[in-house]
Amino acid sequence: MTWIVEHADGTLTQHEAEPGTAGIDPGERYAATPRLLDQVLERWDWSAGEIVAELDAWRVRLLDEVDRQREAARLPYLTALIGQSYVYAAKGREADLYAALSPAELDALDGAELGPRFPLATAEAEVTGDSLATVIARYAAGQAASAAAIARIEALATHAKAAIRGAEDLPTMQAAAAVDWS
């Protein structure tokens, strides 16, 4: 059992021993509590004699937790390497440019024009022996898969955060924050 003490200035202290013993000031009032309180997330309700959740503080904490989990869920689809993020963006631009051209426009391009327009895909096609279309299809598939995964993660986070903001009790908030990111 622990004890909470309210002092004349409104501050609270918590103790393992009963106030008035072991040199502990009994303050203005004190009560036995089942456990120590997290004074950021909880308060002692003197009239009810129970620990009560501070919903606004919990809301902030759980919204932050969803953001942390969202970031972790996105990591497999993003890269923090400056050079690699440039390459992925360039591959995406090449895939988008390729998709914007009609078959007739693609057929009209000669080899000298392909390299400057599609430098990464042309180089990869030369090394792998794959056609430019095959390489570009890989780029587009990778881009689409990453975009779909990130979009799903963002949708889950948006849904969870809206539910946390709208919740009126702690169990509902906690349930909303328990996102299955898989």
81: pLDDT strictly greater than 90: no
Domain that holds residue 21: 2-53
Angle of helix 132-166 relative to helix 170-177, nearest 10 degrees? 170
Q: How many domains does the chain have?
A: 2
Q: Using pLDDT thresholds of 50, 70 and 90, give the confidence band for residue 71.
A: very high
109: pLDDT strictly greater than 90: no
Q: Which pLDDT score, from 0 to 100, does residue 138 have?
A: 97
Q: Which pLDDT score, from 0 to 100, does residue 168 have?
A: 97
151 and 112, same domain (yes or no): yes
Mean pLDDT of 27-54: 94
- Does 129 fall in a domain? yes
Q: Using pLDDT thresholds of 50, 70 and 90, give the confidence band for residue 15.
A: very high
- Does 45 fall in a domain? yes
- Does 182 fall in a domain? no
- Computed from CA positions of residues 103, 108, 114, 116, in that sequence, does the dihedral angle turn out positive or negative? negative
Distance CA 113, CA 132 (A): 13
Q: Which pLDDT score, from 0 to 100, does residue 36 have?
A: 94
Q: Using pLDDT thresholds of 50, 70 and 90, give the confidence band for residue 126.
A: very high
Q: Which pLDDT score, from 0 to 100, does residue 112 have?
A: 86
34 and 117, same domain (yes or no): no
Q: Using pLDDT thresholds of 50, 70 and 90, give the confidence band for residue 160.
A: very high
Q: 142: Cβ–Cβ under 8 A, 6 or more apart, which residues?
A: 88, 91
Q: Do 31 and 46 meet the contact criterion of CB atoms below 8 Å apart? A: yes
Q: Using pLDDT thresholds of 50, 70 and 90, give the confidence band for residue 107.
A: confident
Mean pLDDT over all residues of the chain?
A: 94
99 and 132, same domain (yes or no): yes
Q: Do 28 and 6 meet the contact criterion of CB atoms below 8 Å apart? A: yes
Q: Do 113 and 95 meet the contact criterion of CB atoms below 8 Å apart? A: no
**% the chain with pLDDT above 70:** 100
